[in-house]
């Protein structure tokens, strides 16, 4: 049975869970961006090493003179491919974050509506809570399983 004194605790729990879920999403997002950056740095290191090795293998000045043009062409092709892959990864990372954030907020709304809805059941006749609970139910009907979150 829910009592009037349970409301602050239930609201606190809902808010704490929301903060925890958002913090986890942010950390996961940072981790994915760090992995993407780390991969780009590793590719840059490998590319630099390859250039140095080419310089060391050059046998004459003519071979050395043709290196910049060949390197530019190869790098341009590689960067175009890398750019496409990086854009796809970035879009996926952001989509995952946005979806997780949406789910966290919907869960928070449901938990909060449930906590506020249970206060009306404890016999708080003619209290300010009745007005708040009545308005809350109108704003977020999916807390009772009637809204967009359950329609999917």
Domain ranges across the chain:
6-151
> How confident is the model over 26-58, as pLDDT tens digits?
999 999 989 988 888 888 788 878 877 877 777
Whether 114 and 148 have beta carbons less than 8 Å apart is answered as no
Q: Which residues in 20-56 are b (16+ Cβ under 10 Å) and which e?
A: ebbeebeeebeebeeeeeeeeeeeeeeeeeeeeeeee
> How confident is the model over 72-122, as pLDDT tens digits?
777 777 777 777 888 888 899 999 999 999 999 999 999 988 888 776 555
Record the pTM.
Answer: 0.60
How much is the pLDDT for 152?
A: 41
Give the C-alpha distances (Å, rounded to integers) separating 89 from 40, 44, 81, 94, 99: 12, 18, 13, 9, 15
Whether 7 and 115 have beta carbons less than 8 Å apart is answered as yes
How much is the pLDDT for 150?
A: 46
Task: Supply 98's token pair.
Answer: 């946005």
Whether 111 and 7 have beta carbons less than 8 Å apart is answered as no
Task: Single out the residue of 4, 5, 1 nearest to residue 125, CA to CA.
Answer: 4
Q: For the purposes of burial, counting CB atoms within 10 Å of the CB of 115, is it exposed (0-12), middle (13-18) or buried (19 or more)? A: buried
Give the C-alpha distances (Å, rounded to integers) separating 30 from 25, 35, 60: 9, 9, 47
């Amino acid at each position: 049975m829910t009592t009037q004194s349970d409301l602050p605790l239930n609201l606190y729990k809902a808010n704490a869970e929301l903060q925890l879920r958002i913090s986890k999403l942010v950390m996961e997002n940072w981790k994915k961006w760090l992995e993407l950056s780390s991969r780009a740095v590793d590719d840059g290191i490998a590319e630099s090493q390859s250039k140095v090795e080419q310089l060391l293998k050059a046998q004459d000045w003519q071979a050395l003179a043709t290196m910049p043009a060949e390197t530019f062409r190869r790098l341009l092709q590689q960067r175009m491919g890398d750019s496409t892959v990086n854009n796809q990864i970035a879009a996926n990372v952001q989509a995952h974050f946005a979806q997780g954030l949406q789910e966290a907020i919907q869960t928070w709304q449901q938990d909060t509506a449930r906590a506020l809805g249970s206060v009306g059941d404890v016999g708080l006749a003619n209290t300010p809570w009745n007005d708040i609970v009545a308005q809350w139910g109108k704003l977020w009907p999916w807390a009772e399983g009637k809204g967009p979150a359950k329609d999917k």
